[in-house]
């Protein structure tokens, strides 16, 4: 492979979300399945064997990462095959969704809910993620901030909004005089979509029962919905964030005894790309603070 081809292959991998080295050496995922099966039955005899180019037995997670990892110049390779052995038989979508609903409903406190999220195996995103990312801030907060999904930094550190977008969010909160101890920050998704792609409706649907249960258990006085995915999911609307931002809504679902005032605002990642929009987000933050501090009442349209 020429340098140019190797570089193109690397860039492609990064774009697909394979942007993190998990092991010292790479695994040859292009060997024929029989060869890999043989390999899997031979235990690694020594650390030297481990460090060679010999592939270790594939795990479900490994397999998922490997899916589709062909690269320019590798046309004679065997297509990688994912064996879902460790996950058990794949369940129909409705059954998995019911599992998510049951697991969320069975959690009677926040700790059990966090554990239920961590042990939930129904969302495919978990297989390519490094960490389950649940929350940051205070469990007894009066307000919840709900973003979209973990990005690369969040996936590595296991906490929401800790990358560049998170730093911008923290700066905005701090400038508005809102302490991190006053908020509970979470996302609609608990696992990073590969390559930060937009999550699909199935992935969102599987996480939603857990998001709703978090809202029920925290019972925040206010919600701040950050970005398109958050506002569309929580309000069940197809309207975009630019139309909805700065407006107050009555957020409700059946597990809540009363609706919660919720305001939508622009995502800090968008603000990093479009700095001219910061003034809108700042206006939203001030409106949010004024209601939080009891200076105004939310005008729910």
Which residues of this chain interact with ligand URA, rule CB under 6 A?
A: 147-151, 154, 160-161, 163, 165-166, 187, 227, 269
Q: How far is the CB of 212 from ligand URA (least distance, A)?
A: 18
Pairwise CA distance, residues 213 & 114, whole Å:
10
Residue with Cβ nearer ligand URA (187 or 265): 187
Nearest approach in angstroms of CB 161 to ligand URA is 4
- Comparing CB distances to ligand URA, the nearer of 8 and 235 is 235
| Beta carbon nearer to ligand URA, 39 or 157 | 157
Span between the terminal Cα atoms of the chain, in Å: 60
* Cβ-based nearer residue to ligand URA, 122 or 166: 166
Q: Minimum distance from CB of 39 to ligand URA (Å)? A: 38
Residue 199 burial by Cβ neighbours in a 10 Å radius (0-12, 13-18, 19+): buried
Strand stretches in the chain, DSSP E: 136-137, 143-147, 183-187, 222-226, 248-251, 260-265
d(CA 113, CA 202): 20
DSSP 8-state class, residue 30: T
Nearest alpha-carbon partner for 150 in 62, 247, 243, 20: 20
Smallest separation (angstroms) from ligand URA to the CB of 87: 26
CB closer to ligand URA out of 66 and 133: 133
Q: Which is nearer to ligand URA, 137 or 261 (CB)?
A: 137
User: Closest approach of Cβ 284 to ligand URA, in Å?
Assistant: 16
The candidate with the shortest Cα–Cα distance to 210, out of 262, 133, 128, is 133
* Minimum gap (Å) between residue 273 Cβ and ligand URA: 13
d(CA 146, CA 214): 11
Residue 71 Cβ vs ligand URA, minimum distance, rounded to whole Å: 28
Nearer to ligand URA, 150 or 261 (CB): 150
Q: Which residue is nearest to ligand URA (CB)?
A: 147
Residues pairing with 224 in the sheet? 145, 263
Give me the sheet containing 260-265, strands edge to edge: 136-137, 183-187, 143-147, 222-226, 260-265, 248-251
């Amino acid at each position: 492979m020429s340098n140019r081809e190797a570089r193109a292959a690397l860039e492609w991998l990064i774009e697909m979300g394979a942007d993190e080295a998990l092991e010292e050496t790479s695994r040859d995922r292009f060997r024929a399945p029989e060869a890999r099966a043989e390999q899997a039955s031979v235990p690694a005899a020594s650390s030297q064997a481990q460090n060679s180019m010999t592939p270790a037995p594939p795990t479900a997670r490994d397999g998922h990462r490997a899916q589709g990892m062909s690269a320019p110049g590798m046309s004679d390779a065997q297509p990688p095959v994912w064996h879902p052995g460790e996950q058990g038989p794949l369940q129909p979508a409705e059954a998995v969704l019911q599992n998510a609903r049951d697991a969320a409903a069975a959690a009677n406190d926040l700790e059990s809910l966090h554990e239920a999220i961590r042990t939930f195996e129904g969302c495919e995103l978990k297989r390519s993620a490094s960490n389950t990312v649940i929350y940051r801030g205070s469990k007894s907060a009066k307000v919840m901030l709900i973003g979209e999904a973990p990005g690369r930094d969040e996936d590595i550190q296991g906490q929401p909004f800790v990358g560049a977008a998170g730093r911008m969010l923290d700066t905005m909160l701090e400038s508005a005089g809102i302490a991190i101890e006053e908020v509970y920050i979470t996302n609609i998704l608990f696992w990073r979509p590969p390559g930060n792609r937009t999550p699909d409706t199935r992935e969102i649907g599987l996480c939603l029962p857990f998001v709703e249960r978090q809202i029920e258990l925290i019972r925040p006085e206010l919600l701040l919905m950050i970005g398109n995915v958050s506002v569309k999911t929580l309000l069940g609307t197809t309207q975009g964030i630019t139309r909805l931002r700065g407006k107050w809504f009555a957020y409700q679902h059946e597990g809540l005894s009363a609706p919660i005032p919720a305001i939508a605002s622009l995502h800090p990642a968008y603000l990093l790309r479009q700095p001219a929009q910061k003034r809108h987000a700042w206006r939203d933050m001030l409106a949010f603070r004024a209601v939080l501090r009891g200076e105004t009442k939310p005008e729910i349209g």
